[in-house]
Amino acid sequence: MRTMLLIFLFLLSTNSWAVGLKASADKLAQETTRIGFGLALFGLVLSAIYFMIGRQDAGQKMTQALLGVFILMLSPSILSFIKGLA
């Protein structure tokens, strides 16, 4: 009887672990997006400085920084699309 009770409690608690894990993952994704926008802003400033000093690869750096910002802005849509496929 005691074993059955322990198994039953274990099965109930895994659902609460999953909810806690999902909340942690969502919070981590939100913080990662903030850090990503900060890095994207740094990349845009750096590529603008490259333009001002006349570096040869300034256009490539600006394009990469803008594509990074574009992907970060679309990341919620990309994630919802992937979740819709599953």
Each domain of the chain, given as residue ranges in start order, spans 2-85
Mean per-residue pLDDT of the chain: 81
Burial letters for 36-74: b for 16+ Cβ neighbours within 10 Å, e otherwise? beeebeebbeebeebeeeeeeebeebbeebeebbeebee
The pTM of the full predicted model, rounded to 2 decimals, is: 0.61
What's the pLDDT at 18?
Answer: 60
Measured CA to CA, the distance from residue 20 to residue 35 in angstroms comes to 23
Q: Both tokens of residue 81?
A: 């699309």
pLDDT in tens, 19-46: 677 777 778 877 888 888 889 899 999 9
pLDDT band at 12 (very low <50, low <70, confident <90, very high): low
pLDDT in tens, 46-55: 999 999 999 9
Is the Cβ–Cβ distance between 43 and 68 less than 8 Å?
Answer: yes
